[in-house]
Amino acid sequence: MSVKTAIYPGTFDPITNGHLSILTRALKIFDRIVIAILNNPNKVPLFTLEERQVMIRHVLRGMRNIEVDSFNGLLVDYVIQRKTNVILRGLRALSDFEYEFQMALMNRKLNRDVQSVFLMTDYKWFYTSSTIIKEAASLGGDVSGLVPPMVCARLKEKYGFAERA
Ligand code: PNS
């Protein structure tokens, strides 16, 4: 039987519990998931690519059949390069729908062999995103429970709210 790999692309700046919920669900469908972090030189993320990779690897330690990688350029080209044809995306509230629909249709136009598959995140993370979590954390808000503990600590460090020992 052939191994079915799905590419889970995103900015992951930083990884959230919502992403983890999608990953856990996807592992029940696919044999292998590649987390593909977009390395976009035109955008300045809060966390460097390396920092994002370190956090993701830490959070996923012990979880099997997941690989962490990065890509630049067209996602569909990366998908083909990884010898698969599935893009995995999470869907949250209705507000995601238009953006995801646009991306899926563009990706389909660029390569008809590549299929986008959407999984619904757990209702607990329905209205959270890396962006809103960063905004709250930047103002000293408590985002524990929305991101893994290690990410919570890194956010506090980045924004200068880490407790001194
Ligand atoms: O986590 P994000 O920011 O919603 O992820 C967006 C991502 C990385 C999936 C998207 O920006 C992307 O695929 N970028 C690669 C460039 C590309 O292929 N663009 C054409 C299709 S929209």
Residues framing ligand 1 (Cβ under 6 A): 9-11, 38, 74-75, 103, 106-107
Catalytic residue among 52, 82, 89, 92: 92
CA of 135 to the centre of ligand 1 (A): 21
> How far is the C-alpha of 79 from the C-alpha of 87, rounded, in Å?
7
41: number of Cβ within 10 Å: 6
Q: Which residues contact 138 (CB under 8 A, 6 or more apart)?
A: 159
pLDDT value of residue 28: 96
95 is catalytic: no
Question: Which comes out higher in pLDDT, residue 163 or 69?
Answer: 69
- Name residue 78's amino acid: Y
Looking at ligand 1, which residue's alpha carbon is closest to its atom 20? Answer: 74
Looking at ligand 1, which residue's alpha carbon is closest to its atom 9? Answer: 10
156 is catalytic: no
pLDDT value of residue 1: 64
pLDDT value of residue 108: 98
Catalytic residue among 43, 61, 64, 109: 43
pLDDT value of residue 165: 57
CA of 100 to the centre of ligand 1 (A): 10
pLDDT at 92 over 90: no
Mean pLDDT computed over every residue of the chain: 94
- Name residue 25's amino acid: R
8 Å CB contact between 9 and 39: no
158 is catalytic: no
* Mean pLDDT in residue range 56-71: 96
